[in-house]
Amino acid sequence: MEAINFLQEILKISLVASIACISYYYYKYFTRENPLPGPFPLPFIGNIHQIFKNHSFDIGKLQDKYGDLCEFYAGSKRFILLCNNDLIQKITKPAVNGPFHNRINGVDEGLKEIGLLDAGLVFNNDYDNWQYHRKFFTKVMMSPQFIKQSVIVVQDIFLGMEKHWDKFEENTVFEFNHWMTRYFFDTIFITTTNKSAHALTNYYTELTPNEKSSLPESILKESNTFVEFVDSFVYSVFYFFLVPRIIRNFPGISRNTQYIKDRVSWLRNNLDNTIKSRREEIFKTPIDQKLTSDMLTMFLTVNTERDVTERIADNHHDEPMPDKEIQENFIEVLSAGIDTGSNSMCFLVDFLENNPKVKLRMIEEIERVLGKDPNSSFTLEDLSKLEYVEAIIKEASRLRVIVPTIFKINSVPEVIGGYKWSKGTCFMMSIDKIQNHKSYWKDPEIFNPDRFMDDPESKNKVYMFGGSLRKCPGRNLAMMELKATLAMLYRKYDIELVGPLKDILEYLGNAMN
């Protein structure tokens, strides 16, 4: 009897607590600053049940229903959705330590759970620390010498991929997205570490199990796991940022949450091993022997006697870089360099195969600039002359946005959309909607690269590499890789799509990857 009474008291307390929490939730909602159109949120979960479906986030329908300036909730976290170019001009304006420099609140519990706060570039709210890390990326990835060297690397890796392709029968059907993921992984890994990841060799070995590989099975297995888990890391960022903790830890869902965390932990642990291995190599290298100037070596040697950064450090950073920060920078390089490149190539091929006139004109430009020998090498200067190829890349990125949303948070009160917003307001820029807005683009649904040939100002309305001072530091490398890969692919191969790229389109579409 006492047990029953105890349970009844617990239920009463739980009921009162629930009513109090729900009442407070809706009190905050109905007294919120600047009410905007948007779906009505549910207690604790907000609108997650409406925007998170099939393991992806779909916010496109919100703009269709509620307009260019609207709102939604992820748990108790309110987001102001901005869907036209005029609304984001102040946010994307380059400004040193400006009011929209930060992407997130510095105490976000979801990102903290997976160790993403105040390190690296993407979620670093400490401006001085962010600027310091940015120097490394700028020093390497924006350097003309680095890009020129990377042109050679890209050609070598593509040649290696071709050697695998040549072993298949002529009419073999390729899962192009899988090849591209490994191709870009090999490319970014060797350009940042000066080491091979063997991802393409591993994938070929999977497809031809009867052929014996010259590489140890352990290396092949690890490279494949790396590719999979980098993809999981990218997904985890949005999952832990937008999905409220109460949902992440809900029975049935908590297993998936732990699965994602385990993959992120595996990736971090193995990147640590890579870092330690490279540190040991540096230690064993004779002091009079010059070290390579790849990015990982820069991270490891800054402010040491083997420093290869040529004085990147400043008065505020005179100590060697901690392993945690090296790891975060390394993981950002990999995650940014693999998915974006491979998905972009898949979309490009899809657009070209469905627009034969554009494809023919592109091939004519490639042959005119690079020559008709499909095996001839080329330089960065050659690639810079492929203007129509670049227009195709920009138009594809306009229609199929690889990173369809960008988050920003204001550090001081600001006016956006005619409303004054308090410090700490979360803004979400819908790049997907902005780049397909009828107010800025004629026939936005049509694939037309000429819009970038005829109207030079169009380039200012495409956010392929983001905006403001946080613009992607690897943009020159990324554009070079896409131009080079398209050129090598289409000057030699006759491509035919067996079917639409459904898996990629469904995964991205309006999703936030």
Give 194-207 pLDDT, tens digit per residue.
888 889 988 888 88
Per-residue pLDDT at 229: 85
Segment 209-236 shows an average pLDDT of 74
Buried-exposed string 90-112: b where 16+ CB fall within 10 A, e elsewhere:
bbbeeeeebbbbbbbeeebebbe
Per-residue pLDDT at 6: 62
- Chain-centroid distance, C-alpha 452: 24
Segment 261-276 shows an average pLDDT of 89
Annotated binding residues for heme, written as ranges, equal 472
Joined tokens for residue 439: 């107010």
pLDDT: which is higher, 123 or 84: 84
Which of 211, 55, 174 minimizes the C-alpha distance to 498? Answer: 174
Other CB atoms within 10 Å distance of the CB of residue 422: 11
To the question of pTM greater than 0.85 for the whole model, the response is yes
Per-residue pLDDT at 509: 42
What kind and span of H or E run contains 407? strand 405-409
Helices 356-370 and 387-399, packing angle to 10 deg: 140
**Choice among 271-280, 330-339, 436-445, 452-461 with the minimum mean pLDDT:** 452-461
**Choice among 2-11, 118-127, 369-378 with the minimum mean pLDDT:** 2-11
pLDDT over 70 for what percent of the chain?
A: 90
pLDDT: which is higher, 29 or 60: 29
Per-residue pLDDT at 510: 37
pLDDT averaged over every residue in the chain = 85
In this prediction, residue 459 has a pLDDT band, given cuts at 50, 70 and 90, of low
Burial class (CB in 10 A: 0-12, 13-18, 19+), 15: exposed
Per-residue pLDDT at 507: 47
Per-residue pLDDT at 296: 86
Instruction: Supply φ then ψ for residue 387, to 5 degrees.
Output: -70, -40
Per-residue pLDDT at 118 exceeds 70 = yes
- Sorted by where each starts, the structural domains of the chain and their CATH numbers stand as 127-208+215-508 (1.10.630.10)
Query: What is the spatial distance between Cα 259 and Cα 463, in angstroms, rounded to a whole number?
Result: 33
Annotated binding residues, written as ranges, equal 472
Joined tokens for residue 244: 């409220």
For 383-425, how does the pLDDT look when each residue is reduced to its tens digit (9 = 90+)?
A: 999 999 999 999 999 999 888 888 999 999 999 999 999 999 9
Per-residue pLDDT at 2: 66
Per-residue pLDDT at 478 exceeds 60 = yes
In this prediction, residue 172 has a pLDDT band, given cuts at 50, 70 and 90, of confident
Segment 176-192 shows an average pLDDT of 91
Joined tokens for residue 197: 């990841």
pLDDT over 90 for what percent of the chain?
A: 32
**Choice among 54-58, 125-129, 143-147 with the minimum mean pLDDT:** 54-58
